[in-house]
Amino acid sequence: MSVSVLEGPQAIPEPEAHVHHAPTGFWRKYIFSTDHKVIGKQYLLLSTVMALVGGFLAYGLRWQLAFPDTSVPGMGFIGPEEYNVLITMHGTTMVFFVAMPMLLGGFGNFLIPLMIGARDMAFPRLNMLSFWTIFTGSLVLLVSFVVPGGAAAGGWTGYAPLSARPIYSGVNWGLNLWLLAHAIEFASFLMGGVNFLTTAMTMRAPGMTFFRIPILVWQQLTAAVVFLLSVGPLIAGAVMLLMDRIAGTSFFVPDGGGDALLWQHLFWFFGHPEVYVVLLPAAGLALEVLPVFCRKPLFGYRWIIYATFAAAILSFIVWAHHMFVSGMDPRLAMPFSITTILISVPFAIMVFAMIATLWGGAIRFTTPMHFALGFLGMFICGGLTGIFNGSAPANIPLHGTYFIVAHFHYTLLSGIFFGGFAGLYYWFPKMFGRMLNEPLGKAHFWLTLITFNATFFPMHFLGLAGMVRRIADPTQYPSIVPFQYLNVFITISAIGLILAQIPLAINIVHGLMAGRPAPDNPWEANTLEWVTSSPPPHDNWGKVSPAVYRGPYEYSHPAAEEDWLPQHQMLPAKP
Amino acid sequence: MKMQATAAIPTAYPIPPGKVGVWWFLASEVMVFGGLIGSYLVTRLGSTTFADAAHHLSVPIASLNTLILLTSSMTMVLAFGAADHGDRAGARTYLLLTVLLGLGFLGIKGYEYAGKVAAGFTPASGPFWSFYYTMTGLHGLHVLAGVIANFSLYVMARDRLRHPHRIEFAGLYWHFVDVVWIFLFPLLYLA
């Protein structure tokens, strides 16, 4: 008895009026496009450019830490004031202008409509506006480097009172523009978040019920909700800080009756959920890639969704673990330690779901799979140190040391380097219609994995040895001098990590120009974006948009002939 | 067999996308004012100077302003009701009334600001005044945005009602701005 699979799609053709017509002019097609796929690529390009800026800043500050008070090749001499500018702008650039545009703006825009079977976003023009808004914000941030007084130097957290009066940090316009760039960036992602949520709520393909939505879309939507509901207090705080700076108010200035800790509360009320805004989409990319190359259903699909919701809710009540040493009421340390350790439970569920998906799978070791596995390993490292940092007794001696720097690079940077690159290698054929080179991709993976760990793992030791953050010259502390060789090692590794991205650049340029043309479904995957051509047409689906009959991860289904069963295909009833 | 599979396919979403978008936008706006009001409450509870400073504000003027803003919410609903029935002239009249009431609110607010600054109470005069100017100023900017939105709808409806549902969306926002004031009025003037 042979069971065959009916060829989809089985949906009703749309009336002609609903079919979008592709724009023909260069400007409308590539620059001021309302096509979610073009906008997604624009976000990816913007994040790449800003990553070069952020990486250059990292190179400068690492050189200064390894070889204090020597001229940085290609950058010049860095004094303590310039060092403060470097760490401030490195953090701001990487979190707000690289991680978010890449993981949310780039992959979210490109994939959400394709994965749910829509023809575009709910508000295509708002989508275009959101990109050009963050583009403007990036320009404002870059311009702040060249205004009199230099760029912001108050740390990426902009703690008051240092940030609240221009005379305290010596930077006036740089910090005002830094605040303005944030405001513009938040406006952009508010538009984007509203668009993501409305699209997914109202424009799903027929049959795309809640529990048939791919996990990445769930993670993107959860991140959008977390962002929308957490950024408000920081917007309020930014308005207050700007008033302190230009109108002479004293919200955060103690000698005027204000409270400097209030800024920290407002900042971290957003700042901690922001971690999950970046992390959830990155985990979603890895979760999307793993079952495809294990040829197995994703383990615990619903539990991952519930864990995502739990993490989102808990993320709103953990923020003060950033403030154990700030001088806030010490009685708050216990409840915030408990909530912080609780939030590791939903992430442990996700990690175990990843491992259980691997168990017994027929694993295909492609480049995206390498990066997804890299994410799993690196994220476990970062998650484990998170348990140290979350409990107040361990946090108090560790806080403000390089242990924290190691921790958040293992969590956030692994999201970009391993989650983000897993997504890039996996969806590049769909985005550009060309395959990337596999051996070169694997070389990129191994070089990145080795230099990543060589850069960030020794920071744990430096932190435990007592090297504090935000100092331009670690050798001024005699206790650190015996460990200075580690700083040199880290800096060389960090330069290696930057250079390790050259194979990726070669691969992308070569792929775009001379890569093998990509078939519609090169990875034999189930989700809807692989139904359409590579790259998809302007309206995503041509005349007939797909209908959905099953969940996204039905690999090795016993009733199907092949080991994959796309979401839009029906199985015939058994005779 | 095909019938079985299509039976599971749900119908189109019952709410227009624009409305869903506005509600999500308002959810984020609640958190902006929530953060500001929360900061105000925390600072006020830890301070002894707020109540004395608040006595310098005029409750009658603010009460009048509250009445004006509440009335404008009513005219906004009437505008939507008229648009819903296809009554273009009625919708335009009520939109214009809403715009004028909004401008009236801003005018009275400006008169209040001028009086306070003349009496020496600037944003730099202490924590209460910092919060007073920031909270009412941010709210005033939201009123101004609503006035501009409502006026655009008034202009767009000059020959025919192209987007009657947009009056409902603008109304949701306008009621939100009204609700924020319902919180600010007692917190700043009465407490």
Interface subset of B 32-71, CB within 8 angstroms of A: 32-36, 38-39, 42-43, 46-47, 49
Q: Which of A10, A202, A203 to mutate to probe the B interface, most B CBs <10 Å?
A: A202
Question: What does the pLDDT read at residue A27?
Answer: 86
A90 in any annotated domain: yes
What's the rounded Cα separation, in Å, for the pair B98 and A523? 57
Please name the residue of chain B whose CA is at the shortest distance from the CA of residue A548.
B9
CA angle A379, A382, A383 (to 5 degrees): 85
pLDDT at A575: 54
pLDDT for residue A436: 97
Q: Model ipTM?
A: 0.91
Facing residues of A434 across strands?
Answer: A517
Interchain proximity A269–B1, CB inside 8 Å: no
What sections of A74-214 are H helices per DSSP? 80-94, 100, 107-116, 124-143, 166-169, 173-202
In a domain, A488, yes or no: no
Percent of chain A residues past pLDDT 70, beyond the cut:
96
Structural domains of chain A, count: 1
Find residue A564's DSSP bridge partners.
A555
Tell me, rounded to whole angstroms, the distance of Cα A565 from its chain centroid. 30
* List of chain A residues whose C-beta atoms are within 8 Å of the C-beta of residue B33: 232, 236
Give the mean pLDDT of A338-357: 96
* Residue A528 domain-assigned (yes or no): no
A208 within a domain of the structure (yes/no): yes
Candidates B28, B42, B46; nearest CB to A232:
B28
A42 lies in some domain? yes
State the pLDDT at residue B4.
40
Region A399-428: mean pLDDT is: 95
CB contact under 8 A, A240 and B39: yes
In a domain, B47, yes or no: no
Q: Residue B36: its chain A contacts at CB < 8 A?
A: 233, 236, 239-240
| Count of structural domains within chain B | 1
CA distance A203 to chain B (A): 8
Token match 């090749």: residue? A73
For testing contact with chain A, the best of B22, B31, B33, B172 (most A CBs within 10 A): B31
- pLDDT band at residue B12 under the 50/70/90 scheme: low
User: Are A123 and B21 a contacting pair at CB < 8 A?
Assistant: yes
Give the pLDDT mean for A526-538. Answer: 95
Q: Is the model's pLDDT at A321 over the cut of 80?
A: yes
Average pLDDT in the B51-65 region?
A: 94
Domain containing B162: what range? 54-190
Which pLDDT belongs to residue A255? 85
Provide the greatest CA pair distance for chain A: 84
Chain A residue with CA closest to B5: the answer is A549
CB contact under 8 A, B130 and A251: yes
Q: Residue A44's domain spans which residues?
A: 30-282
pLDDT, one tens digit per residue, over A159-175 is: 999 999 988 888 899 99
Is residue B128 within 8 A of residue B41, CB to CB? The reply is no
Asked if the structure places residue A564 within a domain, the reply is: no
**Contact between B124 and A248 using a beta-carbon 8 Å cutoff:** yes
Predicted TM-score (pTM) of this structure: 0.93
Question: Chain B: nearest CA to A233, how far in angstroms?
Answer: 4
Tell me the CB-side half-sphere exposure of residue B167, using CA atoms within 13 A. Answer: 34
What is the distance between the alpha carbons of residues A298 and B152, in angstroms, rounded to a whole number?
A: 50
Q: How confident is the model at residue A549 (pLDDT cuts 50, 70, 90)?
A: very high
Instruction: Identify the DSSP state of A572.
Output: P
Instruction: Tell me if B81 is assigned to some domain.
Output: yes
- CB within 8 Å: B17 and A258: no
Whole-number Å distance between alpha carbons of A545 and B176: 38
Residue A406 lies in a domain: no
Query: What CA–CA distance (Å, rounded) separates A510 from B20?
Result: 43
pLDDT tens digits for A242-253? 999 999 998 999
Contact between chains at B20 and A197 (C-beta distance less than 8 A): yes
Chain B contact set for A251 (CB, 8 A): 39, 43, 127, 130-131, 134
Nearest residue in chain A measured CA to CA from B48: A257
**Average predicted confidence (pLDDT) for chain A:** 92
CATH number for the domain including B166? 1.20.120.80
Are B1 and A572 within 8 A, CB to CB?
A: yes
Domain containing residue A242: CATH number: 1.20.210.10
| Residue A37 included in any domain | yes
Per-residue pLDDT tens digits for A143-161: 999 999 889 998 999 999 9
Round the average pLDDT of chain B to a whole number and report it: 91
Q: Give the tens place of pLDDT for each residue, B121-148.
A: 999 998 999 999 999 999 999 999 999 9
State the smallest CA–CA distance between residue A206 and chain B in angstroms. 5
pLDDT at A185: 96
Dist CA B127 CA B20 (whole Å):
38
- What's residue A8's pLDDT? 40
Question: Interhelix angle for A333-342 vs A367-390, to 10°?
Answer: 160
Q: What is the pLDDT of residues A349-371, one digit of tens each?
A: 999 999 999 999 999 999 999 99
- The model's pLDDT over A563-572, given as tens digits with 9 standing for 90+, comes to 999 999 987 6
Per-residue model confidence (pLDDT) at position A257: 84
